[in-house]
Chain A
Amino acid sequence: MADQDVVVETRKLTKIYRDFWGRQKKVALRALNLKVYRGEIFGLLGPNGSGKTTTIKLLLGLLFPTDGDALVFDQPAAEVRKNERIGYLPEESYLYRFLNAEETLDFYGRLFKLDAATRRKKAAELIELVNLGADKKRILKEYSKGMRQRIGLAQALINDPELVILDEPTSGLDPLGTRWMKDLIVNLRNQGKTIIMCSHRLEDVQDICDRVAILNEGELQELGSVRSLLEDVQRLELRASGVQLNEDLRKDLESVLAKHGGVIEFIGHPTTTLEDLFLRIVAQSKAHPGRRYLPEKAAAKPVEVKDSSTHVSR
């Protein structure tokens, strides 16, 4: 990609934590070089203590580099003005718990010097976006973790940022919320925004990230597009429909592969993901209130309806 599309760049970015006396405690990041381009979803992966959050904090100016440079929009990370174009969702949503959703968004809107009308409009839009309309007058102390994550995301979007940095965005969310969040992130990318996210949930990263960097012990281990990193050129995957698996088909396939020097490692019906199954069941449940799982015997003999409870089979 062209250089003008680079949104974030680190050059030999190094962070060493020291104690009060200047003695070295831990090398959190060692000479990290990477570039994040406009309009992509970039994932930071790695085990605990690998330097993901440190990288994000360095990019946001929450930490100062021991060596090297961190540039965001071609400006040093310590430059405050760059923050006008950034939205940040921390790992835990550390918002002020004595404020309600509207007040929270109003406060962060003021920090961006939005006028009162714009703040009201943006707050209403974002509260709608994160599905907190019914709870907008409740103080955040009363929110569940998922709700706090949603309002946290809303505050990160109050300034309509070009770059959104998300630290564990699906942390604390149920599968529905996780899917919603992933859809939203993809949607933001489709609007032309650049996303940097770090997550422990590899399936999330795999689902939505365009490129990933894998860190371990503060060092960059791998960097590239998800597809290129996951692609196994030594193996071949074939999907087919309209045929049933039987011995004839297996033998035919084995002979074709043998002709080209290959062997079948696995052949069978594909399974869906647990997430897809869960989402389908919840969607059906919403479509048919009162439906519930019953063992096969009981299911054969419908339960007599005694009241209007929704927990009966139909």
Chain B
Amino acid sequence: MFATFFLERDPMSWADLPLAVQSWLQNAGGVAALAVALWCISWTVQNRGRVNPFAAYPAFVVPAALAGVCYLIVVLLFAGKVLGMSFVDDLLPTTAGALRASAGDWLLTLGGLLALAAVVGPIAHAFAMRIRWGRIWAIARLSVKEAVRNRVVLLFAAMAIVFLFADWFVPYKPEDQVRNYVRVVYWSMTPLFLMTASLLGAFSIPTDVKSQSIHTIVTKPVEKFEIVAGRFLGYATLLSVGLAAVAGLSLIYVVRGVNPDAARESYKARVPIYGQLTFSGTKSMYEGESVGREWGYRWYIGGPVLESAKMPRQYAIWSFADLPRDMARVDETSSEDPKLRSVPFEFTFDIFRLNKGEENKGIYCTFVFMDGRLSIPDLERVQKAAYEERSQLQTKASTQIADPSERQKRLKAIDEELVRKYGLFEAPGFEVTDYHTQTLRVPSHLFERLAELEKERPREGLPGEEAPPMMRVVVSVDHTSPTQMLGVARRDLYILAAEQPFWINFLKGILGMWCTVLLVLGVAIGCSTYLSGIISWLCTVFLFGAGLFKDSIRQLAEGQSPGGGPLESAYRVFTRTSQGAPLDQSPTASLLQGGDDVYRWWMRRFLNLIPDVSRHDLHQYVANGFDISWGQVLLTDNLIPLVGYLLPWGILAFYLMKFREIANPR
């Protein structure tokens, strides 16, 4: 088995939303402001003072003028910086960090908001006064009929090929059955539906314009945007119904005769609680050891090297800030004590071997679950004290209690007492297997004790520091595996808070695909309001393709790529300078780096056009049996960004259609 769930980027949460909205207002508003400025110049040139704009378009001119004032102040701030006025430094807009709160940031945000208000105002007015859902629905019905009668829906039947023949090509391992089937289904459905959406969206309006069918619609009391909205709604309905039908069949295909090993591995939807990962004994709190793997998702910790006892022991520490009140539940699989209540922790680690080790054996690690107030130096002291006390009590119990069952009960009671006394539970010598999902059950009395401590001694941090977490899980490699390294990432260890049914999770994953389909459809229809069918389709494919590489493009735009921008890289090639070496500060190098800065500025603007398509790919969750949360994953990380991305396209489509001469062959 070589599979584990990994996420290189956390889904957007409610806490991230203010910054996201601010960025959106600044970016979308900036584009709107540019469009408003161009329109104002064009209007002024055409009318040359014959019409008073404030009287003609008050709802547009007032916010546009106020937006202009905001942007003018920002320009003046930058001018002040150029002129050496040091007091403006704190007022200038920032480019990173949490909610950007300088005066410049707020001016950019406000300016963007006002510019958007200026362009959205006429649209809102049109929706209130002229646009009618009845007509939009009529055009939507027409779109569905057109697609059905042109046999577009037969494309969906292509999935039958996958259902019939995929088994021939899917590598078969019992425990990977569900995972592989989920991947096959998602990777088949995604291109099928995206291709259909892009073709329908890109060609519908241009075909109507070319065939002049649109003439008979726009000569009725129909707003041109109603055609756009109707087309979008119709195709979205068709694709949604098609997606639901194919998803239902796919679900049957995936779940028929699930292998027991596969069921244990991924035929479920785990609801995890993740902690924050830090390290101790490594060069940095946030970084472990690097073993030279290109994929930097995991850091590594090593076992104690006996020859160098002075080296600090390395720990991976997961901190859980707050825990739900009652997570403990009965372990129904336990044969020892059917009533024992415990909290399951699951983990999947990578093992990097420095020597061959024993075949089919993992490495041995110690897991400590403890009160978050305890630090690592405390840990070793408390561990030692608990160990000594346990030894004494166990010896005493062994000598005093003759009856084996009574003695066993006493030993358990001793463990429970010590957990309560020290706020710590230890699982030493646990064999960790490479890339296997394993479970450790922590007795519920540790959590009861943590809850008591929470009431007795509220957690408080040192001045200027955050409060300590409620709980820490500390993992270290044992002495028995000294030369092996354990690869860990934040999401490799989690509390298994609950398990949900697989089928619901599968359908939630389809909702992610649905978001991608709507995104592609929206972009294709948006492009087609101005461009021809084939060009619209190519633009859509280009934007979607760029979206797949958005992280790499972002690195390029933010100057994080090694070797600099294109000009600097070319310079390095010609001068045979390695990527890592600093450039000599010649005028040529400075000029090229300045050119790269300009290039990066444009790339950052272009970055806003590119959709973040990878966030809508949720199949990893489903394939690996992790729950897709309604709130964080579906709503804040999928639906809200989708609306945020499509909204500017909708505004653009409104104006492109409004000002388009339908009958002009240009």
Contact = CB atoms under 8 A, between A and B. Distances in A.
B664 interface: yes
A74 interface: no
Contacts of B217: 111
A96 B663 contact: no
Contact of B211 (A94, A110, A159): A94
A17 B216 contact: no
B173 interface: no
Contacts of A96: 142, 146, 213
Contact of A108 (B212, B216, B223, B664): B216
Contact of B212 (A61, A63, A90, A103): A90
B661 A62 contact: yes
A120 interface: no
A110 B216 contact: no
B221 A98 contact: no
B498 interface: no
Given A18-B666, A62-B662, A64-B661, A113 B213 contact: no
Interface in A87-111: 88, 90, 92, 94-96, 98-99, 103, 107-108, 110-111
Interface in B192-235: 211-213, 215-223
Contact of A80 (B211, B213, B221, B664): B221
A111 B138 contact: yes
A86 B216 contact: no
B219 A62 contact: yes
A83 interface: yes
A112 B221 contact: yes
A57 interface: yes
Contact of B666 (A20, A61, A103, A110): A20
Interface in B622-666: 661-664, 666
Given A17-B666, A94-B211, A83 B142 contact: no
A20 B665 CA distance: 11
B135 interface: yes
A113 B216 contact: no
Contacts of A99: 142, 145
A17 B663 CA distance: 11
Nearest to B660: A64
Nearest to B131: A80
A57 B664 CA distance: 10
Nearest to B664: A63
Contacts of A80: 130, 221-223
A5 interface: no
Given A98-B145, A111-B138, A62 B663 contact: yes
Interface string A111-139: 11100000000000000000000000001
B464 interface: no
Interface residues of B, number: 29
A81 interface: yes
B135 A62 contact: no
A205 interface: no
Contact of A81 (B142, B145, B216, B221): B221
A233 B156 CA distance: 73
A19 interface: yes
B257 interface: no
Given A96-B213, A107-B142, A110-B135, A86 B666 contact: no
Nearest to A99: B145
Contacts of A111: 135, 138, 217, 220-222
Contacts of B666: 17-20
Given A96-B146, A98-B150, A113-B132, A17 B221 contact: no
Interface string A1-31: 0000000000000000111100000000000
B134 A155 contact: no
A60 B215 CA distance: 9
A112 B219 CA distance: 11
Interface in A21-52: none
B145 to A, nearest CB: 7
Contacts of A160: none
B663 A86 contact: no
A222 interface: no
B644 to A, nearest CB: 30
Nearest to A152: B216
Contacts of A63: 661-664
Contacts of B134: 110, 113
Given A110-B134, A113-B134, A86 B219 contact: yes
Interface string A68-93: 00000000000011011010101010
A159 B222 CA distance: 13
Contacts of B361: none
Contacts of B663: 57, 62-63
B146 A62 contact: no
A112 B222 CA distance: 8
Interface string A204-246: 0000000000000000000000000000000000000000000
Contacts of A152: 216
B149 interface: yes
A18 B665 CA distance: 10
Interface string A264-307: 00000000000000000000000000000000000000000000
A86 B662 CA distance: 18
Contacts of B219: 60-62, 83, 86, 88
A140 to B, nearest CB: 11
B216 A62 contact: no
A17 B145 contact: no
A153 to B, nearest CB: 12
Nearest to A108: B220
A83 B222 CA distance: 8
Given A108-B216, A111-B217, A98 B135 contact: no
Interface string B349-368: 00000000000000000000
Contacts of A20: 666
A289 B520 CA distance: 62
Give the interface centre of A81, A86, A111 by most chain B CB atoms within 10 Å: A111
Contacts of A110: 134-135, 137-138, 141
Interface in B117-163: 130, 132, 134-135, 137-138, 141-142, 145-146, 149-150
Contacts of A159: 220
A90 to B, nearest CB: 5
Most chain B beta-carbon contacts within 10 A, residue among A64, A86, A155: A64
B212 A94 contact: yes
A312 to B, nearest CB: 45
A113 B145 contact: no
A156 to B, nearest CB: 8
Nearest to A88: B219
30 contacts: A17-B666, A19-B666, A57-B663, A60-B215, A60-B218, A60-B219, A61-B219, A63-B661, A63-B662, A63-B664, A64-B661, A80-B130, A81-B221, A86-B219, A88-B219, A90-B212, A90-B215, A90-B216, A92-B212, A94-B211, A94-B213, A94-B215, A98-B145, A99-B142, A107-B141, A110-B135, A110-B141, A111-B220, A152-B216, A155-B216
Given A81-B130, A94-B213, A98-B146, 4 more contacts: A62-B215, A63-B663, A94-B216, A98-B145
Interface of B: 130, 132, 134-135, 137-138, 141-142, 145-146, 149-150, 211-213, 215-223, 661-664, 666
Top 3 A-B pairs ranked by shortest CB distance?
A: A110-B138, A62-B663, A94-B212
